Amino acid sequence: MKDPTNIESAYKLAKEQFAELGVDTDAALQRLDSIHVGLHCWQADDVGGFEKGNSELSGGGIQVTGNYPGKAKTIDQLRQDFEKVLSLLPGKQRFALQASYGDFKGLKVDRDQIDITHFQSWIDWAKKVGISGIDLNPTCFSHPESNDGFTLSSKNEKRRKFWIEHVKRSRKIAAEIGKQMGSPCVNNIWLPDGSKDIPVDRGTLRAILKDSLDEIFDEKYPSKYLVDSLEGKLFGLGSEAMVVGSHEFYLAYAVKNNKSVTIDTGHYHPTEQCGDKISAMLPFVEGITLHISRGVHWDSDHVVIFDDNLQLLAQEVVRSGDLDRVHVGIDYFDGSLNRIGAYVVGARATQLAFLFALLEPTKKLKEFEEAEKYFERLALLESLKAKPFGAVYDYYCAQKCVPVGERYIQEIQQYEKETLTKRQIAA
């Protein structure tokens, strides 16, 4: 680890520079500490899950590239990997599960039969390792009943009822998770439903989806236990021409029915800025869930990095003053590199982006804007890019007793040598 004296000195200098702008770095770090980034289980095993007989099936627009050695193949291995990730990140984190990752103990449990018993060991484990909350996604893909590309919008009533029951059970499980964890569980609904080629009757499919959602949400749960969120998409593999649950559909449904909306940053046109959507949506929806990804040319789920899009997203969330109504999580799956490293790079980039936003002298920038001093506004925004916010993050890492700077690389390399490589040999 870096010399703590140097870290302290660098932080003191950074603190002085930000203080000149009216920014309290200690307060910014305290606020950052309250942002518990949701880390998704499916990066650890390439969206495999632990079902017997279902998760081997492809489908639903999910495509993982790469076959880097050592991916988790059991619940114990996934938990082991995740605990390593936690040891390399400052602050508290949340954990996001797919319903297909239940602890089924090798038994065949179809998705319309899941219940809290299949997730109790996850809750117990999360409490043991200090995870602050668990979120849950119903898994409406990679299943024989989704092979035609439709689930909740299916015209096949038997198939549609299967998926309605699955999502109902997911919500019930999520509410119990929230109750036991003492933190609301975000139950995020994403569907693969769509058409590969040009459909004629989009309206009927969306009417069916609306009816399915109405039936699902008829059962009410306390908001202190459950947050319902809806995740739209521009297109996916096998749904290039039309996605039934588009952003516009879910946004309209959420506004009318007091639900949250999930913004997956890979689910929009490459020229769209998801940060711009925050202030447009927050006044009208119950809340926003962020699934932060990095699409390259399309929804390709690259590892999150500290880029302009992430920076704007974090800035707009912080500037909104409604940070507590935004659930922050990452969502990507890359099998072409060390998976633990992928977690840590993405989570740290997300934390760094929110710290950068929290260190912004927003009041001063707004004063420039109100006075139409646009040169001054632009100049200050540019000046901030060179401020030593990295020294503030290093100090945060040191205070939380996790590796500072790039030092975590060596720890991951050692973990790969001692654990992942042996796992590959054993297979």
* Catalytic pick among 291, 302, 327, 387: 291
Q: Residue 4: pLDDT band by 50, 70, 90 thresholds?
A: confident
In SS3 terms, the chain reads as CCCHHHHHHHHHHHHHHHHCCCCCHHHHHHHHCCCCEEEEHHHCCCCCCCCCCCCCCCCCCCCCCCCCCCCCCCHHHHHHHHHHHHHCCCCCEEEEEEHHHCCCCCCCCCHHHCCHHHCHHHHHHHHHHCCCEEEEECCCCCCHHHCCCCCCCCCCHHHHHHHHHHHHHHHHHHHHHHHHHCCCEEEEECCCCEECCCCCCHHHHHHHHHHHHHHHCCCCCCCCCEEEEEECCCCCCCCCCEECCCHHHHHHHHHHHCCEEEEECCCCCCCCCCHHHHHHHCCCCCCEEEEECECCCCCCCECCCCCHHHHHHHHHHHHHCCHHHEEEEECCCCCCCCHHHHHHHHHHHHHHHHHHHHCCCHHHHHHHHHCCCHHHHHHHHHHHCCCCHHHHHHHHHHHCCCCCHHHHHHHHHHHHHHHHHHHHHHC
Asked if 322 is an active-site residue, the reply is no
Asked whether the beta carbons of 247 and 268 are under 8 A apart, the reply is: yes
d(CA 300, CA 219): 35
* Catalytic pick among 331, 360, 394, 416: 331
Number of other residues whose CB lies within 10 A of the CB of residue 78: 22
Contacts of residue 295, Cβ cutoff 8 Å, sequence gap at least 6: 265, 266, 267, 270, 301, 302
pTM (predicted TM-score): 0.96
Rounded percentage of the chain residues whose pLDDT exceeds 90: 92
Asked if 291 is an active-site residue, the reply is yes
* Catalytic pick among 81, 299, 334, 360: 299
* Catalytic pick among 42, 125, 163, 190: 190
All structural domains of the chain, each given as residue ranges with its CATH number in brackets, are 35-360 (3.20.20.150)
* Catalytic pick among 210, 233, 277, 302: 233
Angle 279-284-285 (CA atoms, 0-180°, nearest 5)? 95
Asked whether the beta carbons of 303 and 294 are under 8 A apart, the reply is: yes
Q: Lowest mean pLDDT of 36-40, 293-297, 346-350, name the range.
A: 293-297
Q: Which of 255, 256, 253, 235 is nearest to 244 (CA)?
A: 235
* Catalytic pick among 176, 193, 231, 360: 231
pLDDT attached to residue 5: 81
pLDDT attached to residue 266: 94
The model's pLDDT over 90-121, given as tens digits with 9 standing for 90+, comes to 999 999 999 999 999 999 999 999 999 999 99
> Quick check: 65 pLDDT over 90?
no
Asked if 190 is an active-site residue, the reply is yes
Contacts of residue 382, Cβ cutoff 8 Å, sequence gap at least 6: none
Asked whether the beta carbons of 104 and 50 are under 8 A apart, the reply is: yes
Asked if 267 is an active-site residue, the reply is yes
* Catalytic pick among 71, 143, 267, 302: 267
Q: Residue 63: pLDDT band by 50, 70, 90 thresholds?
A: confident
* Catalytic pick among 264, 334, 360, 394: 264
The model's pLDDT over 355-389, given as tens digits with 9 standing for 90+, comes to 999 999 999 999 999 999 999 999 999 999 999 99
Asked if 299 is an active-site residue, the reply is yes
Burial of 420 (0-12, 13-18, 19+ CB in 10 A): buried
Q: Residue 59: pLDDT band by 50, 70, 90 thresholds?
A: low
Strand 194-195, strand 242-243: pairing: antiparallel
Asked if 218 is an active-site residue, the reply is no
> Quick check: 56 pLDDT over 50?
no
